[in-house]
């Protein structure tokens, strides 16, 4: 059993001796005492210390109230998971139930289950979110804040029930090694935070320790090296590292620690591109990856495990990318899939709020621009780094980045154009990268050459989000389709066809042709080959010009020979949107400021606004997993022979209902639009006067 598998450490001889005499309770008591004494040195400083001291309590704001509210919800057996509120899994808890669909996964060996089979198991994502046991950590945090043994008693009861209902290797909760690893991490946190509680007996500790050993053994045996060598693999490696450093008394601990360490060191160079973009083209999964490596770096330092400096440098490049695409209002745009989960949510936070990452990174790396992006010390930083982490942030002079406002990320494929770092600045993110990553494009969207745009700080053009993975296939396909992004469709077709919830039939290629950024303008130029598969092949080329600091001109060129239908689509956030007979569209938020938009073409254009439609699906956004809400999509349609050019002005305006700018296309001798003329100011923008391909390589 567990005692026979202890490490060959002379300090453990008294424990082995008692176990050898059959005194398992006495042996367990000694092991429990050893853990309580040693864990604070091995674990995160904030979790290892006592309740948050009074001097730092004001810094944590409403974190105490949020934690206690979450713990009370657990005690009432109600769960807010992902984007779902007040879910009930029954009383006693049914650990295999998806309460959204009402389906229950059978208790069979995990190898006989298909987690993607919604008919057989429901939405495994919802089931797994409960079984990550991250809410047990909320109970433990509330116990640390209050000393209320009721939280510890609820924790002990839940763990006993779970162990009884989930025998090793049986059921949906063993079918994903990542989920097993995340539960292991939650148990580690709960054990450290609840140590000293009378409700956590040595007997329960030994049962949990045996469970952690079983979890780590399962993860090590079934690593996601082939099926999902992405955040699945790094998340599994982190769980092994956790188990290895926190429980060195266990015989396999050294191997777990070494295996986790080697994977984390190896995978960061494979999964994080040189410019800091995560290779699956997803800000949500980039967040996961940063969280994984922040936990790893802090745990390694606490346990004197040497980590090459290059790891911290690559993590900072990831944060630099997130800092660049972060909107002026502080929110993070959704790019690619977003599953609504976190590595370990130590505080309540909306999906678009990445302030905790920047806060902890500011303390860890001493970067003032991260402290600025965080907006102040985050509660998560206290739990990870303790009071010294908060002091480190407060010692920094919080300033915005000194780097240029606009920046190209050539490896990931994103051109970021912004007027400044002020909260009411303008920003546009132009996706010039691939569809997902070569290993697995499953978390990528068919969003080639798409735009996201914030004006006066607030999001206007957005990625529609994700909504679900397996629960509703039609909605899954819609939210990752070209129709849900601000780009172009040809002949009613998207850029790629789904081949399952995490696959595509083909992976079109994108090419960045040029990039240039000066004090006066930014210019990005790219094309893709997604529509070369049409009977009459079409190449879509898009150029985006930012005339600083005021407006953008988007030029879409379609190369082909036959007649085609072209749809120019703009997916807006939930805003008030109108379009007039002259094709001018106006989107505005509650304060009246907003975005004016108008395309110019030499052929007739039809303008439509669609919102909340289901046949066909269009005009929706998903702010969180399991949530969807209507939001307007603006569609301009032309049916014309190719080649064809559409030239679109994106013009931020502060005047509610005010006049549009007097602007007209500038035509060359062939009648092709080559620029815009602003008639009141006399300003003329000529595209043919800008640097051409070859003069502005990235």
pLDDT digits (tens, 9 = 90+) for 215-228: 999 999 999 988 77
DSSP string, 346-371: -S---TT--HHHHHHHHHHH--HHHH
User: Do the beta carbons of residue 621 and residue 675 sit within 8 Å?
Assistant: no
Using 50, 70 and 90 to split pLDDT, how confident is the model at 589?
A: confident
For residues 406-428, average pLDDT: 97
Indicate if the pLDDT at residue 697 is higher than 50: no
Indicate if the pLDDT at residue 691 is higher than 70: no
pLDDT tens for 241-293 read 999 999 999 999 999 999 999 999 999 999 999 999 999 999 999 999 999 99
- pTM of structure: 0.95
Domains and CATH numbers, the chain: 51-177 (no CATH), 407-657 (2.70.98.70)
Which of 304, 217, 303 is CA-nearest to residue 255?
217
Q: What is the pLDDT of residue 396?
A: 94
Strand pairing partners for 652? 595
Using 50, 70 and 90 to split pLDDT, how confident is the model at 142?
A: very high
Q: Which residues contact 611 (CB under 8 A, 6 or more apart)?
A: 577, 619, 630, 631, 632, 633
Using 50, 70 and 90 to split pLDDT, how confident is the model at 329?
A: very high
State percent of the chain over pLDDT 70.
97
User: Do the beta carbons of residue 685 and residue 547 sit within 8 Å?
Assistant: yes
Q: What is the pLDDT of residue 227?
A: 76
Q: What is the pLDDT of residue 54?
A: 64
Report in angstroms the alpha-carbon separations of 154 from 92, 159, 194: 12, 9, 12
pLDDT tens for 596-631 read 999 999 999 999 999 999 999 999 999 999 999 999
CA distance 31 to 392: 35
Indicate if the pLDDT at residue 394 is higher than 60: yes
User: Do the beta carbons of residue 240 and residue 255 sit within 8 Å?
Assistant: no
Hey, what are 408's tokens? 């190209």
Indicate if the pLDDT at residue 132 is higher than 50: yes
Which of 586, 583, 603 is CA-nearest to residue 595?
586
Indicate if the pLDDT at residue 635 is higher than 60: yes
Strand pairing partners for 79? 87
User: Do the beta carbons of residue 577 and residue 587 sit within 8 Å?
Assistant: yes
pLDDT tens for 188-210 read 999 999 998 999 999 999 999 99
Q: What is the pLDDT of residue 419?
A: 97
CA angle centred on 615, ends 610 and 618, rounded to 5°: 35
Indicate if the pLDDT at residue 99 is higher than 90: yes
User: Do the beta carbons of residue 305 and residue 42 sit within 8 Å?
Assistant: no
The torsion angle over the Cα atoms of residues 494, 500, 506 and 512, rounded to 10 degrees, is 60
Residues 166-178, buried b or exposed e (16+ Cβ, 10 A)? beeebbbbbbbbb
User: What is the average pLDDT value for the chain, to the nearest integer?
Assistant: 93
Indicate if the pLDDT at residue 698 is higher than 50: no
Which helix (H) or strand (E) segment holds residue 80: the answer is: strand 79-81
CA distance 12 to 8: 8
For residues 562-582, average pLDDT: 97
Which helix (H) or strand (E) segment holds residue 596: the answer is: strand 594-600
Q: What are phi and psi of 200, to 5 degrees?
A: -100, 95
Q: Which pairs with CB-CB distance under 8 Å and at least 24 residues apart come from 80-85?
A: 81/126, 81/129, 81/130, 82/125, 82/126, 82/129, 82/339, 82/340, 82/341, 82/624, 82/625, 82/626, 83/340, 83/622, 83/623, 83/624, 83/625, 83/626, 83/627, 84/126, 84/626
Tokens 């007739």 sit on residue = 604
H helices then E strands: how many in the chain?
A: 18, 28
Hey, what are 148's tokens? 């209320």
Query: Residue 619: how many CB atoms within 10 A of its CB?
Result: 22
Q: What is the pLDDT of residue 692?
A: 57
For residues 400-406, average pLDDT: 89
pLDDT tens for 478-531 read 999 999 999 999 999 999 999 999 999 989 999 999 999 999 999 999 999 999
DSSP H helical ranges for 420-535: 473-479
Query: Residue 399: how many CB atoms within 10 A of its CB?
Result: 11
pLDDT tens for 438-451 read 877 789 999 999 99
DSSP string, 284-295: HHHHHHHHHHHH
């Amino acid at each position: 059993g567990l005692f026979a598998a202890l490490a060959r450490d002379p300090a453990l001889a008294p424990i082995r001796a008692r176990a050898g005499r059959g005194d398992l309770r006495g042996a367990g008591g000694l092991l429990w005492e050893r853990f309580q004494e040693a864990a604070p040195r091995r674990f995160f400083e904030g979790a290892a210390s006592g309740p948050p001291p009074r001097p730092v309590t004001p810094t944590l704001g409403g974190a105490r109230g949020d934690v206690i509210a979450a713990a009370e919800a657990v005690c009432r057996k109600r769960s807010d998971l992902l984007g779902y509120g007040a879910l009930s899994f029954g009383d006693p808890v049914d650990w295999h139930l998806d309460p959204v669909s009402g389906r229950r996964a059978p208790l069979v060996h995990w190898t006989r289950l298909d987690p993607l089979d919604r008919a057989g198991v429901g939405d495994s994502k919802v089931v797994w979110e409960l079984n990550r046991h991250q809410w047990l950590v909320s109970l433990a945090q509330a116990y640390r804040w209050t000393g209320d043994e009721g939280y510890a008693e609820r924790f002990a009861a839940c763990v006993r029930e779970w162990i009884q209902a989930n025998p090793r290797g049986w059921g949906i909760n063993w079918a994903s090694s990542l989920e097993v690893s995340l539960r292991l991490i939650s148990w580690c946190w709960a054990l450290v935070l609840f140590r000293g509680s009378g409700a956590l007996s040595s007997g329960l500790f030994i049962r949990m320790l045996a469970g952690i050993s079983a979890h780590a053994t399962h993860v090590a045996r079934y690593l996601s090296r082939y099926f999902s060598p992405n955040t699945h693999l790094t998340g599994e490696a982190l769980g092994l590292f956790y188990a290895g450093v926190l429980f060195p008394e266990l015989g396999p601990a050294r191997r777990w620690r070494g295996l986790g360490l080697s994977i984390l060191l190896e995978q960061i160079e494979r999964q994080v591109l040189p410019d800091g973009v995560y290779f699956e083209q997803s800000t949500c999964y980039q967040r996961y990856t940063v969280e994984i490596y922040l936990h790893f770096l802090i745990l390694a330092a606490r346990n004197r495990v040497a980590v090459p400096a290059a790891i911290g440098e690559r993590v900072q490049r990831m944060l630099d990318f997130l800092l660049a695409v972060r909107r002026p209002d502080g929110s993070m745009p959704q790019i690619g899939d977003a599953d609504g989960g976190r590595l370990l949510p130590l505080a309540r936070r909306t999906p678009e709020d990445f302030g905790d990452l920047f806060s902890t990174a500011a303390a860890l790396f001493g970067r003032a621009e991260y402290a600025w992006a965080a907006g102040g010390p985050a509660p998560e930083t206290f739990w990870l780094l303790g009071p010294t982490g908060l002091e480190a942030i407060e010692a920094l002079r919080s300033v915005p980045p000194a780097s240029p406002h606009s920046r190209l990320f050539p490896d990931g494929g994103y051109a970021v154009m912004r007027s400044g770092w002020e909260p009411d600045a303008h920003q546009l993110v132009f996706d010039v990268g691939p569809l997902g990553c070569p290993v697995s494009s499953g978390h990528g969207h068919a969003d080639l050459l798409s735009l996201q745009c914030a004006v006066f700080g607030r999001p206007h053009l957005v990625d529609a989000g994700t909504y679900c993975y397996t629960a509703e296939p039609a909605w899954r396909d819609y939210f990752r389709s070209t129709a849900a992004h601000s780009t172009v469709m040809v002949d009613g077709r998207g850029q790629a066809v789904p081949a399952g919830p995490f696959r595509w039939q083909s992976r079109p290629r994108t090419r960045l042709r040029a990039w240039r950024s000066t004090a006066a303008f930014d210019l990005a130029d790219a094309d893709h080959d997604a529509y070369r598969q049409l009977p009459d092949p079409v190449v879509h080329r898009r150029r985006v010009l930012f005339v600083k600091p005021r407006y953008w001109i988007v030029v879409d060129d379609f190369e082909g020979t036959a007649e085609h239908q072209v749809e120019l689509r703009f997916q807006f956030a939930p805003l008030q949107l109108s379009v007039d007979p002259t094709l001018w569209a106006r989107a505005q938020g509650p304060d009246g400021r907003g975005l004016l938009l108008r395309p110019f073409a030499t052929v007739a254009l039809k303008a439509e606004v669609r919102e909340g439609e289901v046949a066909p699906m269009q005009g929706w956004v998903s702010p969180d997993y399991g949530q969807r809400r209507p939001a307007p999509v603006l569609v301009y349609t032309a049916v014309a022979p190719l080649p064809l050019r559409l030239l679109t002005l994106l013009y931020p305006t502060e005047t509610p209902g005010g006049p549009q700018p007097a602007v007209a296309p500038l035509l060359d001798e062939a009648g092709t639009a080559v620029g815009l003329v602003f008639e009141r100011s006399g300003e003329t923008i000529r595209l043919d006067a800008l640097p051409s391909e070859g003069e502005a390589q990235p």
